[in-house]
Amino acid sequence: MTAISTTAALRDTTAVPSTGRRIWNVTRLHFANRFSMIALPWIIIGFIYLVNLVIWISIFASTHEQLTGTQWSGSTMYIFVYFGIAAVQAMNLTFRFAMGMSATRRDYYLGTVVAFALQGLLFTAVCTLLSYVEDWTNGYGMSAHMFSNIYMGTGPLWQRLFTAFFAFMFCFALGALAGSVFVRWRSNGLYLLGAIVAVLGVGFVAVTTLTGSWPAVGAWFADSRTVGVVAWLLIPMVVSAVIGYFVLRKAPSRA
């Protein structure tokens, strides 16, 4: 009787984390290395900004004329590339550790999505604010642009927020798919995924060239503008995220 009571008492006093708690624990796990998750991308983009600033000042000081063409700057594109790469690295480093913490694969994937969505919100907010700073100061008095670029930093507030955040999440979804493939099949899986992407890309170029459709493609980009292009990217973003989840469901918890 005593043994039964003791067993029941232990079972009752053992706290089983809720689904939300397990997902949040995975999210916190990704932010354990704050340097690579938060600090490093801003250190690098800060360096890029300083390099651009030196170039802007040098040109402006020598010509005393407003800068032209800087609105086409692609300097902020690095941060989107970093998003995709960081997703692959983060999943490779934390997946098996999270499995050892009794997280399910669903908990892990959802917690990873939350972690990168939070990171995306942070970068979106800061980049949007800096784009307005450049607008308010007329490009620091030189008509210089880095964050207020033509791709996502010149429209109304909702467009700047929408394009920046979902461009971040699109890159994350691709990175999450590649990360899931790597966790399950290691480098051979990535080679195959890269080959599939290359074949699809070459096939698109070949079909577009043979049918003489490049003017139509260019017109579509011009008509859709950045916000329209990003809106269409929501489709492959969701598809990549869903495929990544199902790939991860069968990934081994041990190397």
Q: Taking the model in full, what pTM does it have? A: 0.88
Q: Is the pLDDT of residue 15 over 90?
A: no
Which pLDDT score, from 0 to 100, does residue 239 have?
A: 95
Among the listed residues 225, 116, 243, 231, the one whose alpha carbon sits nearest the alpha carbon of residue 169? 116
State the total domains in the chain. Answer: 1
Structural domain contains residue 11: no
Query: Is 227 within the bounds of a domain?
Result: yes
Residue 92 lies inside a defined structural domain of this protein: yes
In a domain, residue 254? The reply is: no
5 lies in some domain: no
Specify the pLDDT at position 16: 61
User: What is the model's pLDDT at position 6?
Assistant: 53
> How far apart are alpha carbons 187 and 179 in whole angstroms?
10
**Separation CA 64–CA 70 (nearest Å):** 16
Asked if residue 146 belongs to a domain, the reply is yes
Overall average pLDDT of the 235-245 stretch: 95
Report the mean per-residue pLDDT for the chain.
Answer: 88
User: How far is Cα 20 from Cα 17, in angstroms, rounded to an integer?
Assistant: 8
Of 20-24, 89-93, 130-134, 222-226, give the range with the top mean pLDDT: 130-134
The model's confidence at residue 18, banded by pLDDT at 50, 70 and 90, is confident
Q: Residue 1 has what pLDDT?
A: 46
**pLDDT for 210:** 93
Residue 3 lies in a domain: no
pLDDT reading at 2 higher than 70: no
Cα 124 to Cα 10, 97, 130, 166: the distances in Å are: 47, 29, 10, 9
Residues 116-152: tens digit of each pLDDT: 999 999 999 999 999 999 999 999 999 999 999 888 8
pLDDT tens digit sequence for 172-227: 999 999 999 999 999 899 999 999 999 999 999 999 999 999 999 989 988 888 89
Q: Is the pLDDT of residue 14 over 70?
A: no
Q: Give the residue numbers spanning the domain of 58.
A: 16-249
6 within a domain of the structure (yes/no): no
How many angstroms separate the CA atoms of 79 and 171, rounded?
10
Calculated CA dihedral for residues 157, 162, 165, 166, nearest 10 degrees:
-170
The pLDDT, as a whole number, for residue 20 is 84
